[in-house]
Structure 1
């Protein structure tokens, strides 16, 4: 009797598993949407195209969908993930290799549900979990803009991912766990400016995609980890929440100046991927929208409640940067005196955006030294940071030990924060990774 009951339970359990798999498969399989003839640019309203251009900038479409040296929006940019390398797709209106045969309905489904025209599930490297918040009207304008761009014939590259991670159907399982489809809903207790900033930041601009750490399955963490900072593309996207301990708070004015101008005297300059946000993204966005995004993040990072005496903080940073001959017994101090002091010494003039006071820079107060290491290794080009200002790369002039000593010295003498661990190993890794790329 016992064996009979056990057999029945096993049979019922197996049947439930089979039924569940059949149900999941039926739900996961999405129908293809019929192809269309690429719409002529003249069929779109000029005003809508222009609005779509700004929306594309806010979403950094050209940044992600353009390979180094490639045609705009033609795809091919490698995105290295913990599961393999994914190459961005061609989103020009080429019918054979791009999205020229996609109707507005197909484009909207991709943006809102993460499903391609042929019914296949998109990998979440395409941040549809953020784009789903974008309104139908804005998706329509974005579609009009992209369909008005020059068509480029460039076949997409297949993802370099091991089986079964490369099976598109399995992405539906990821969606069941982590994806919530739906448009942005305004918060009635907040102002119109706050809601506009939240709509852009949480949706099309997908700020959380870089500034929020991810779990083992590649989904954004929630709770206190939201906007807590994360390593992305070899850089550290700093915390945008209250855990950011920059000496001078990131208030709305500082955030606006950084996003609009590429840097501030109190926080340093944009470099690496963040320079694309400034110059390929926010540069084309309306001023009111940049203000709105700055206002939104300032409201969540606790800057208004920190009660920091900025003048005192600045005075302290200037005092720490004054040359002390006794420090030159340290290797890092000698490297600083030889390579850095001439440009980063502000004396009594006060900090200047074009020559950042290192004791105020976010890269020195961050929980991770990656950005400081990268800037020393690779510099800040004229295309990054502030217009007509640059920092030379010291990767060829300084050894790994020199840079590690410099980074350790700056953290110790310019902040009261605990020392970073594993600096020497990080410097070697960042240099090696740059050679590979």
Structure 2
């Protein structure tokens, strides 16, 4: 019996190893590739923006695409790789075949499985032409000699062969297939949202093994200490999103009825602001087709919004208002109301918080992050609001009271559980 068990176990182990093993692809000499096609590289640069590649592959203060960004996960910390064409530390000795295999199958040139923090489960949908254009772009940028720190995973997750099991369960390698019943714009939007844009990677919940729950696509997820809101019919936005609002938000990072993009989404819209408007419109068109949330019928809309809002009249804040007895309302009156209920133009004017998904959402995470950290000035101009952080001004109790007041009195919803935890996390992760 022992012999049989050992024999069966050995065969199973050999079979698993055979399945998990990936063959290395021979390195190339960088000069053998020649100069990338200029048009392909230009198109690849736009595709890299759509894929938000620089955000993950650039460390704070580091060179673009040189890697080294720490990406905490529930399973450990992974550091992004160098994808510049440096022959020693980057992808300079990768062939086009090796690059495309990594993009679609999550296997590097040497045959090592890549962790799914790199969203190859989405990039597997990318077309041949777009994959080749991306390769041309990355081979055209300046090489940077930079090695990321080693990943921090405990056994057995530090053994990359175990990732083959994850792929067996969750990776479906298939190119995008257009839906003939839909128009060209819808298909282009779905291709970008589901593929290079990998929107579901943040906006969908994940299971215990870190894979997206495809049965709950776009029903909201977590991303780097922020809540990625539900999209489509699951959206809790007080004002339902429509195609025009989605287009403006994705292109500029702000909308008068929906607020401003913060956290990881701020990087996304910064990149989308630089791509062809037709691609942004296509993404908005597809996202709008996912349906609308219920919204609220009692939301008070501002008389005017955006840059056309009238400036606040002189002396409007000269009188100090009487502070209410409710501690949360008192904090709101003292530090929030003058911007969020005044008529200041952007960038100093704040949106009406009755319109805010941060107040109406399912968790307090984003609201607490905004109160503690504020909203920095946009590098792209003054189209987005700015807001000081109050983490050093308000203590935990004041922030909690403020959140409770906004949740119950402004959003008209039951107070959140976990507000204290959200405050602690926001303070611990500046």
TM over 0.5: yes
1:100-125 deviation line (CA, Å, top 9, x unaligned): 00000000000111100001111111
CA shift, 1:243, in A, is: 1.5
CA–CA distance in structure 1, aligned partners of residues 22 and 295 of structure 2? 53
- For the 8 Å contact 1:265–1:354, the answer to whether it is kept is no
Would you tell me which structure has more helix in proportion to its own residues? 1
2:372 aligned with 1:377: yes
Closer, same or farther: CA 354–288 of 1 in aligned 2, 3 Å: farther
CA–CA distance in structure 1, aligned partners of residues 384 and 14 of structure 2? 61
Closer, same or farther: CA 124–236 of 1 in aligned 2, 3 Å: same
Partner of 2:190: 198
Closer, same or farther: CA 397–105 of 1 in aligned 2, 3 Å: same
Partner of 2:257: 266
Q: 1:150 aligns with which of 142, 150, 165?
A: 142
2:408 aligned with 1:412: yes
- Count of aligned pairs: 414
1:142-180 deviation line (CA, Å, top 9, x unaligned): 011111111000113211111111101111111001111
CA shift, 1:346, in A, is: 4.3
CA shift, 1:326, in A, is: 8.9
- Superposition TM-score, scaled by structure 2 size: 0.91
More moved, 375-384 vs 71-80: 375-384
CA–CA distance in structure 2, aligned partners of residues 317 and 416 of structure 1? 22
CA–CA distance in structure 1, aligned partners of residues 249 and 397 of structure 2? 32
2:217 aligned with 1:226: yes
Partner of 1:99: 91
CA shift, 1:350, in A, is: 12
> Aligned Cα RMSD in Å?
2.5
Partner of 2:353: 358
- For the 8 Å contact 2:346–2:385, the answer to whether it is kept is no
CA–CA distance in structure 1, aligned partners of residues 148 and 403 of structure 2? 41
CA–CA distance in structure 2, aligned partners of residues 316 and 36 of structure 1? 60
Specify every segment of 5 or more residues in structure 1 that has no aligned partner in the other structure, as ranges.
1-6, 319-324
* 3-state SS of paired residue (2:161): helix
- For the 8 Å contact 2:339–2:349, the answer to whether it is kept is no
- For the 8 Å contact 1:39–1:147, the answer to whether it is kept is no
CA shift, 1:251, in A, is: 1.0
- Residues 126-145 of structure 1: pairs in structure 2 closer than 5 A: 126-145=118-137
1:262-309 deviation line (CA, Å, top 9, x unaligned): 111100011111110011x20222101101111111111335xx5976
Specify every segment of 5 or more residues in structure 2 that has no aligned partner in the other structure, as ranges.
305-320
CA shift, 1:23, in A, is: 1.6
2:54 aligned with 1:62: yes
- For the 8 Å contact 2:254–2:383, the answer to whether it is kept is no
* 3-state SS of paired residue (2:324): helix
CA–CA distance in structure 1, aligned partners of residues 81 and 31 of structure 2? 20
- For the 8 Å contact 1:67–1:77, the answer to whether it is kept is yes
CA–CA distance in structure 2, aligned partners of residues 48 and 292 of structure 1? 21
- Superposition TM-score, scaled by structure 1 size: 0.89
Q: 1:344 aligns with which of 334, 340, 356?
A: 340
